[in-house]
């Protein structure tokens, strides 16, 4: 009897003082293991007389249960303490980049798209979108290019085998101009929109990729004329290149969907010799030595036939439209010379030409990123 009480006192105090889980496990083995002292007591029950057993049995079982309870309680306490100290020691900042991973950056195309959206939002333009898988009618016919029109051949179109609802085949849009038609049909006049997006042509070299990006601009209202177009383009390009001395050259051109049509070149300085690489827009006209002209965008007054096919009355409203290559703008502003690298997904290129996600283009701080 004295044995049991002593054993209990000893077990309780040592379990309560166990410093870690390993020490606790050693105590469990010492008391409750096969060779443990409590187990040894339990084994003595078999050799007792029934009277003894009736008296000792409950005490020995109570001892075992008490020891078991003490072990469980201490284990829980030790585990809680371990968790608390781990929580105190380990702080995890989920906003940090994962260790060992390359850090992400904003692709120059996204950067330039953001810059353009910012500039045109300031001029009151909304953003419109259209599908990349397009109906022949929106991409060509409604833009004054009926099936036999020779201008279609210049677009190197990717066609799908599927029949388009409005005739011809479905295709990957070759320009953002079908968004003009879609927006006029949907929203009517007046309109002031830009339509950024991917376009596709079967073409590939240093300055052409089968997929590239355009931004379409469209203004439809009463009394819109070529002067509005010229002012808008000048204002946009000065804001984009962040300099006042931009020199533009407007050349008469031809697009089936604009009349008259105007092609716009921007003067650039040849920085690295005469090979045209490392081009940067630096002001000055292309006619001076060390300068050249770079074709930048197509534009013009929206052809009255397009306005008509888009459900509007050309006697009531006029408009201008333009289409710019976004990738080309990025190359000119940030000095890349091979368009194909834009879409290689090479992290070294992205790290070099990418932009910080914290560097949002705003008109007040300047739309140009600190590259």
Interface pick for ligand PHE out of 177, 183, 232, 310 (rule CB under 6 A): 177
CB of 301: closest distance to ligand PHE in angstroms? 9
* Residue (255 or 268) nearer to ligand PHE, CB: 255
The residue assigned the tokens 């066609």 is 159
| 197 makes contact with ligand PHE (CB under 6 A) | no
- Region from 10-18, 58-66, 296-304, 360-368 binding ligand PHE, contact rule CB under 6 A: 296-304
195: helix, coil or strand? strand
* Residue (67 or 312) nearer to ligand PHE, CB: 312
* Residue (321 or 339) nearer to ligand PHE, CB: 321
Distance CA 196, CA 333 (A): 18
Which residues, 318 to 347, sit near ligand PHE by CB under 6 A?
321-323
| CA-based nearest residue to 239, from 109, 110, 371, 117 | 117
* Residue (111 or 299) nearer to ligand PHE, CB: 299
Where do runs of H (alpha helix) occur along 242-358? 304-309, 326-334, 347-353
Per-residue tokens: 282: 């630096």
Contact of 341 with 209, CB cutoff 8 Å: no
Phi and psi torsions of 142, nearest 5°: -70, -15
The residue assigned the tokens 């965008």 is 297
Distance CA 267, CA 264 (A): 10
Interface pick for ligand PHE out of 255, 268, 353, 355 (rule CB under 6 A): 255
| 258 makes contact with ligand PHE (CB under 6 A) | yes
Distance CA 275, CA 282 (A): 17
- Region from 51-59, 128-136, 292-300, 360-368 binding ligand PHE, contact rule CB under 6 A: 292-300
Contact of 324 with 248, CB cutoff 8 Å: no
3-state DSSP helix/strand/coil % of the chain, to nearest 5 = 45, 20, 35
Return the biggest CA–CA distance within the chain: 121
- Region from 33-41, 73-81, 288-296, 298-306 binding ligand PHE, contact rule CB under 6 A: 298-306
Interface pick for ligand PHE out of 8, 299, 303, 310 (rule CB under 6 A): 299
Which residues, 117 to 146, sit near ligand PHE by CB under 6 A?
none
Interface pick for ligand PHE out of 196, 298, 319, 361 (rule CB under 6 A): 298
Distance CA 13, CA 296 (A): 86
- Region from 68-76, 306-314, 317-325, 340-348 binding ligand PHE, contact rule CB under 6 A: 317-325
CB of 324: closest distance to ligand PHE in angstroms? 8
Which residue number has the CB closest to ligand PHE? 323
Per-residue tokens: 144: 């004054």
CB of 322: closest distance to ligand PHE in angstroms? 5
* Residue (270 or 324) nearer to ligand PHE, CB: 324
* Residue (111 or 180) nearer to ligand PHE, CB: 180
* Residue (41 or 264) nearer to ligand PHE, CB: 264
* Residue (144 or 299) nearer to ligand PHE, CB: 299
Contact of 235 with 362, CB cutoff 8 Å: no
Where do runs of H (alpha helix) occur along the chain? 2-17, 21-32, 37-44, 50-89, 108-122, 136-139, 178-187, 226-241, 304-309, 326-334, 347-353
- Region from 3-11, 133-141, 188-196, 297-305 binding ligand PHE, contact rule CB under 6 A: 297-305
CB of 326: closest distance to ligand PHE in angstroms? 12
Q: What is the DSSP letter of 171?
A: E
CB of 175: closest distance to ligand PHE in angstroms? 4
32: helix, coil or strand? helix
| 310 makes contact with ligand PHE (CB under 6 A) | no
Which residues, 207 to 246, sit near ligand PHE by CB under 6 A?
216
Distance CA 252, CA 229 (A): 14
CB of 217: closest distance to ligand PHE in angstroms? 8
Contact of 226 with 262, CB cutoff 8 Å: yes
Query: Rule CB under 6 A: which residues touch ligand PHE?
Result: 175, 177, 216, 255, 258, 298-300, 321-323
């Amino acid at each position: 009897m004295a044995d049991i009480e002593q054993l209990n006192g000893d077990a309780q105090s040592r379990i309560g003082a166990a410093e870690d889980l390993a020490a606790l496990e050693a105590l469990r083995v010492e008391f409750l293991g096969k060779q443990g002292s409590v187990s040894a007591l339990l084994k003595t029950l078999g050799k007792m007389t029934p009277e003894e057993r009736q008296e000792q049995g409950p005490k020995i079982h109570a001892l075992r249960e008490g020891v078991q309870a003490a072990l469980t309680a201490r284990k829980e306490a030790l585990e809680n303490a371990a968790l608390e100290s781990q929580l105190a020691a380990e702080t995890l900042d989920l906003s940090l980049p994962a260790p060992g991973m390359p850090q992400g950056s904003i692709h120059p195309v996204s950067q330039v798209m953001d810059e353009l959206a910012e500039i045109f939002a300031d001029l009151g333009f909304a953003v419109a979108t259209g599908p990349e898988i397009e109906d022949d009618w929106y991409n060509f016919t409604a833009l004054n290019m009926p099936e036999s029109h020779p201008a279609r051949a210049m677009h190197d179109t990717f066609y799908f085998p599927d029949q388009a609802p409005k005739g011809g085949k479905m295709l990957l849009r070759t320009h953002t101009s079908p968004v003009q038609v879609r927006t006029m049909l949907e929203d009517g006049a007046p309109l002031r929109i830009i339509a950024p997006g991917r376009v596709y042509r079967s073409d590939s070299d240093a300055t052409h990729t089968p997929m590239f990006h355009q931004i379409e601009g469209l203004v439809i209202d009463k009394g819109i004329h070529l002067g509005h177009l010229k002012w808008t383009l000048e204002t946009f390009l000065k804001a984009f290149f962040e300099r006042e001395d931009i020199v533009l050259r407007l050349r008469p051109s031809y697009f089936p969907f604009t009349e008259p049509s105007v092609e716009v070149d921007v003067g650039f300085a040849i920085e690295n010799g005469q090979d045209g690489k490392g081009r940067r827009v630096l002001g000055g006209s292309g006619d001076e030595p060390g300068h050249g002209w770079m074709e930048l965008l197509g534009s013009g007054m929206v052809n009255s036939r397009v306005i008509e096919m888009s459900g509007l009355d050309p006697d009531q409203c006029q408009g201008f439209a333009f289409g710019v290559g976004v990738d080309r703008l990025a190359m000119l502003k940030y000095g890349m010379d091979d368009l194909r690298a834009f879409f290689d997904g090479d992290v070294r290129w992205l790290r070099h030409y990418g932009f910080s996600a914290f560097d949002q283009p705003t008109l007040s701080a300047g739309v140009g990123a600190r590259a």
